[in-house]
């Protein structure tokens, strides 16, 4: 692929890579022992020397550009949590009922804290939402009547759901 621009699979099918951009990722900075998130804007990024030492020279010579990323800060993790929580709005059981979900800043902060792993980054965030928020929402939806808006918050006992109906004059 990096020599002639062609890739052949085990069945003999050939794919043309001559006009493509290939993005490779590596977690080279993770093994340094410094957590990759909730940091104070870490500046000790991986150097070109570190990358040269990791990749064999014949591969490194084919790399046109190296882009390094800063570690994730608390605000970024919370933005990812907000986005993941917002995706719950699209679930059939919620979308079909026309319920709007509103998430408190406290819930977003707590889910971000629980769902972020220094080792795995924000990947466990989705599992944390599935484990903490979805069962409470599901139970509430099964036991309650139709509402317009659900406020989802973090309280002393974990996730709390409260209903808020819109004034009748706003229904059209």
pLDDT tens by residue, 40-80:
444 445 677 888 888 899 888 888 888 877 777 888 899 99
In the numeric block, which tokens belong to residue 63? 């790399």
User: Tell me, what's the pLDDT at 36?
Assistant: 47
Residue 172: what pLDDT?
A: 38
Domain locations in the chain as residue ranges: 6-60, 74-170
pLDDT at 30: 58
Give me the pLDDT at residue 145, please: 78
Q: Note if the pTM is more than 0.85.
A: no
pLDDT recorded at residue 29? 62
Q: Which two tokens stand for residue 163?
A: 């209903």
Low-confidence ranges of the chain (pLDDT < 70): 27, 29-46, 165-172
Q: Please give the pLDDT value at position 45.
A: 59
Q: Extract the tokens encoding 82.
A: 């907000």
As a whole number of angstroms, the distance between CA 105 and CA 135 comes to 20
pLDDT at 151: 93
SS3 75: helix
The CATH T-level fold of domain 74-170 is Helicase, Ruva Protein; domain 3 (1.10.8)
Tell me the two tokens of residue 69. 């990323």
């Amino acid at each position: 692929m990096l020599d002639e621009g062609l890739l052949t699979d085990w069945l003999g099918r050939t794919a043309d890579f001559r006009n493509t951009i290939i993005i490779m990722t590596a977690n080279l900075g993770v093994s340094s022992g410094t957590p990759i998130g909730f940091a104070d804007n870490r500046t000790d990024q991986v150097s070109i020397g570190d990358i040269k030492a990791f990749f064999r020279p014949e591969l490194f010579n084919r790399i046109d550009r190296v882009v390094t990323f800063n570690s994730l800060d608390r605000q970024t993790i919370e933005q990812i949590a907000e986005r993941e929580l917002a995706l719950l709005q699209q679930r059939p059981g919620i979308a079909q009922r026309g319920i709007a979900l509103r998430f408190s800043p406290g819930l977003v902060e707590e889910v971000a804290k629980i769902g972020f792993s220094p080792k795995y980054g924000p990947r466990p965030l989705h599992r944390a939402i599935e484990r903490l928020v979805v069962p409470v929402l599901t139970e509430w939806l099964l036991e309650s009547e139709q509402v317009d808006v659900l406020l989802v918050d973090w309280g002393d006992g974990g996730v709390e759901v409260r209903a808020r109906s819109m004034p009748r004059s706003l229904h059209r």
